[in-house]
Structure 1
C-alpha cells in the first residue's frame, strides 16, 4: 500500500498576499482556487510540476495556528524547506525581486541553506547541494 504526499500546507495570515508572493516572487504556479466559506482552498505547484505536490496556502484562522506560527518565527525556525539547484544564485535572484532573507546562503555540511521571510508569517528555508 504505497502512501504518497499530494498536498502539504503552510499557514498564512493572508491568502491573497501569499498567492501573490508564492507565484510572483518564488515562481510557483496556481493550481486550485476553490471558495471555502470565508476562505479558499488555494494551492500552488512548482514550475514544471503541474501534477506535483500541491502547497496549500492555509489560512491562520485557528488561534493555535497563530501561536504556532509566531513561535517558529521568533525562534528562527523555518516552517518548511524548498529545494533549489543553487541556493546562492536563487538568493541573488530573489533579493533582486525584493525578497527579504533572514539567513544568507550558509554551508551546512552536505547542503547550503538560506532562509527567507514569506511576508505571510513564515520563514522558508531554501536548500541545495553544497
Structure 2
C-alpha cells in the first residue's frame, strides 16, 4: 500500500496543493491544485474568508486530479511573522539502573520551551536537535 502525502504552500501570490504517493521509497506526484492567493499580504492572512476561498479552490483541484479526499496536510509557513530560536533544556537525572527515561526527556523538552514569549507570539513547534548526557554530545 502506498503512503499519500498532501502538502500545502500558502503564499502571498498563490496557494499550491500537492499530492504525492510514496511507493518503494520513491515519491510520485499524483495531484496538483493552484489558486491565486487572496486575503494575504506579506505572508500574513489579512482576510480569512478570502484566504479560505483560495485554499479551498487549490485543495479541490488537488483532490480531483489525485482522486483522494484530503483531510490532513503538511503545511509550509513563511513570512516576517515566523521566527526561530535555539535553547537548552537541562535537567538532573537520578542515578538508577534504567538510565534515561522518557519522562526525563519530556522534562528536558519542557524546560527548553520555558522561555519568555511576547504576548503576540506563541511556540508552534519544538524540534530537538541533539541530546547531551554527562558531557557526551550527540546522544
> TM-score by structure 1 length?
0.23
> TM-score by structure 2 length?
0.22
Bigger fraction of residues in strand: 1
Query: Which of the two has higher C-alpha Rg?
Result: 2
Q: Which gives a bigger RCO, structure 1 or 2 (Cα 8 Å, sep 6+)?
A: 1
